[in-house]
Structure 1
């Protein structure tokens, strides 16, 4: 393709969860917008054309949450930046009444829950759930009509679609936090570039961009992380789950190519990754597909990597060097403790690498509440995001 030159730029955010008891969420939201403007000012194309807020911008949908969010948006956005919003389950929580939430949206933001805008020749369609995070017939009909109109107008340009929950079996987080109410409609339009939240999954997880029938991207969270795996020793909410403040900066060229750039507000910089969708309307050109599971290189512990074992009164700590992910970060580790005398397993756990932190630590410490006296061996294996287990393990012996 020709050199990528953006003529359109927008921010994709979700799950901000405004709550006066959590003021850091508001601070990070406003800081994220400020940092995005600073980034844009340093580029040849300096505009931020749209801020998209993809649901759960309030914690419980209360009047004060709407008021605070409006004040924050109006203070942070420049006049030339448009605003696109969807609602979701947390906006519907207060009073338990969807229509009251819609009334608040109209009163505070002068808009309805579903919209279709054309900005610089590109179609932006946003649709809010009927109730909770489900889409019923009225929403499906709205989406069919608007997608067909957008397709007829620009069949060889991306259509940007925004709804709060992920589409099931697409991006990371969509197994536990996805809905399939719209899938049969969306598969007809491969040029869709769909943005969704709900899961609080990290934007720097490479599975957070997915292509099969169309392109999907997860928009992260400004509140806390949750991950979509169920074998971890501490459940789906990882250590250091707050503060989370991540979003996407999306750039679009005149030809319709789309660049997706994950950004971290906590460290005030981009993650070391970006995604380029050159021809969104052509599914044969998709590269962020399930093929990545077969092409991924296996992680490896370097020859210099070590494990340090610390025996304490209430258990054992294992501190070790992270593995080399061969161009990607490590997803998780499996730690296995065996009795030295016969090799029988006494404890086996799986835990994350903390890859979701932009400043990912070079060494990890993981504890076990193992206190029984004896001689043991421990081994640690690494795993990437594509079930690619490391080619080697770290091993050592210890005595309690």
Structure 2
């Protein structure tokens, strides 16, 4: 890294790995001329023309930004049906006729198949919707990957493809199974000399997350680890992957280690991490003892706009219902330094700013009767408190810790701790302003002693802000 690059990196990354829009607008002037713009989505799960409307709207935004290509990191056709894939292709060519932008430059299709595209026809919910096995067999993409691809996208299909856009290489690895990318080792060997570059990145796209990278260790949807080992030989590799639907409001969706890995969320619905009172525990058959229903994931439709400069990559995180930014722009310095890895979880956890409630924030408590997530009628105690947003307090909370304490003589004892997402946590801040509630059943706190609730705002790497408290109330 030369002195000029070092100084630029120091200025941009002092105190943060991302910048809010006004700061970003000021800093971007020093980045130089953009060399590449790419729209990024994943898991669009098209069923019919109506369900493709968000996809069309997103493509229109990318067109307005004059992109050079668009990534779709898998799961194009929800049922794995040819007709659904055709609907997606129709929307693409409606926005980019003949793969052309309005000014006539080619917009490259950087698409890959996902598990739904090849396996969806066999999923239980698809069999329920279409019990006619002959129809599913006729519609399925599986076994006809090349035929369907070439019919609707008008280009040759191969399991792993190398494309070049404005001098930057993209590897498109189509889904073959959930554990690995067969043939990737030989593919990388064959193209090694093109990909190795001390300063210029290349981009790798597959559906499942490379193991132990973005959103790890808790995220589902990781592969078996072979891809992580292979890409670790290339510090200039930037991987994009979907499958888990992890929202872009979670800063762990971007990871750096031996290379850089970015989760691409979903344009259909997002799936926040579990263990919260209003989140879902994925693939757990046992009843979850929660007092609150699962939050509405389907209002989260996320995507990104990547801009590549000589010394930086920027990623704009966006939701496409209200067309709002989801957070600050992520900034990836180039070239990637494995010794430093500024976007590693460890570095960002150390530097993360702590969210805090405003000076007048308080917790109020109400009582009522309601049904738990398992439809059991319960007497409930509800803690109410305001959301913590960057625009009002400087740092947006990722989620909240809510504790129920009882008073035992001169000691306050924590009886139960819950974590909760705000109702608009997967949206832009303008749609995350409503009051947050966390519900406890009275029988979760059976002790007949005065009770109060303690709430702390949290950021995703584990730091917690100062608590606010409710008044003590009787728990009879």
Q: TM-score range by the shorter chain?
A: 0.7 to 0.9
Please say if residues 144 and 185 of structure 1, whose CA atoms lie closer than 8 Å, have aligned partners that are also in contact: no
Question: Which ranges in structure 2 are unaligned for 5 or more consecutive residues?
Answer: 1-7, 9-29, 101-105, 123-140, 283-293, 370-378
Measured after TM superposition, the shift of residue 243 of structure 1 is 2.3
Question: Which ranges in structure 1 are unaligned for 5 or more consecutive residues?
Answer: 41-46
- Say whether 1:355 aligns with 2:425: yes
- Say whether 1:169 aligns with 2:212: yes
Measured after TM superposition, the shift of residue 327 of structure 1 is 4.6
Distance in 2 between residues matched to 1:4 and 1:203, nearest whole Å: 26
Please say if residues 204 and 240 of structure 2, whose CA atoms lie closer than 8 Å, have aligned partners that are also in contact: yes
Please say if residues 367 and 381 of structure 2, whose CA atoms lie closer than 8 Å, have aligned partners that are also in contact: yes
- Which residue of the partner structure matches residue 160 of structure 2? 114
Distance in 2 between residues matched to 1:294 and 1:135, nearest whole Å: 33
Q: Which moved more, 1:189-198 or 1:372-381?
A: 372-381
- Closer, same or farther: CA 280–126 of 1 in aligned 2, 3 Å: farther
SS in structure 2 of the partner of residue 99 of structure 1? coil
- Say whether 1:61 aligns with 2:61: no
- Closer, same or farther: CA 394–377 of 1 in aligned 2, 3 Å: closer
- Closer, same or farther: CA 386–327 of 1 in aligned 2, 3 Å: farther
- Which residue of the partner structure matches residue 275 of structure 1? 330
Q: Identify the match of residue 7 of structure 1 among 26, 29, 35.
A: 35
Please say if residues 84 and 126 of structure 1, whose CA atoms lie closer than 8 Å, have aligned partners that are also in contact: yes
- Say whether 1:77 aligns with 2:96: yes
Specify which structure has the higher proportion of helix: 2
- Closer, same or farther: CA 256–375 of 1 in aligned 2, 3 Å: closer
Task: Say how many residue pairs are matched.
Answer: 387
Q: Identify the match of residue 355 of structure 2 among 273, 290, 299.
A: 299
Q: Identify the match of residue 104 of structure 1 among 116, 124, 148.
A: 148
- Which residue of the partner structure matches residue 32 of structure 1? 58
Please say if residues 114 and 126 of structure 1, whose CA atoms lie closer than 8 Å, have aligned partners that are also in contact: yes
- Say whether 1:151 aligns with 2:195: yes
TM-score (norm 1): 0.88
TM-score (norm 2): 0.75
Q: Identify the match of residue 459 of structure 2 among 349, 360, 384.
A: 384
Distance in 2 between residues matched to 1:223 and 1:95, nearest whole Å: 18
Please say if residues 158 and 256 of structure 1, whose CA atoms lie closer than 8 Å, have aligned partners that are also in contact: no
Specify which structure has the higher proportion of strand: 1
Distance in 1 between residues matched to 2:415 and 2:330, nearest whole Å: 43
Please provide the CA RMSD for this pair.
Answer: 2.6
- Closer, same or farther: CA 26–310 of 1 in aligned 2, 3 Å: same
Q: Identify the match of residue 384 of structure 2 among 316, 319, 322.
A: 319
Distance in 2 between residues matched to 1:76 and 1:317, nearest whole Å: 48
Distance in 2 between residues matched to 1:69 and 1:173, nearest whole Å: 31
